[in-house]
Amino acid sequence: MSSSQPDAQVDTELSDAIVAYVGTIHDRPDALAAHAGRRSPEELRAEIQSLMSELWGVPVDARGITVWEECRLVHDVFAPRHPELSKQAVDAMLMRYAWANR
């Protein structure tokens, strides 16, 4: 690997909390309690909501494309900005995004 930057360390606590939080039918803060370690459940929730706002804010010209094509475009902007998130966490957020945009 000739990259000048080392691979980012996945933030397991945040990534696991994202999967639990966005995987619930309702945004339940209690879904985060089991994943809180360095952060409180409230801190995790605030970080997740900030990330979700960023994800929803990715500018996409969605005219004439499917929701899955839109998700791919959003992924291609969002995922490189957040190497600290696991693939499962990014996928969970994108599934929530896709569900909201059906």
Each residue's pLDDT tens digit, 7-42: 679 999 999 989 988 876 566 667 777 777 788 888
Rounded Cα distance, 24 and 96, in Å: 10
Rounded Cα distance, 39 and 64, in Å: 42
pLDDT of residue 2: 40
Nearest to 15 by CA among 98, 100, 84: 84
Global confidence as pTM? 0.81
pLDDT of residue 60: 85
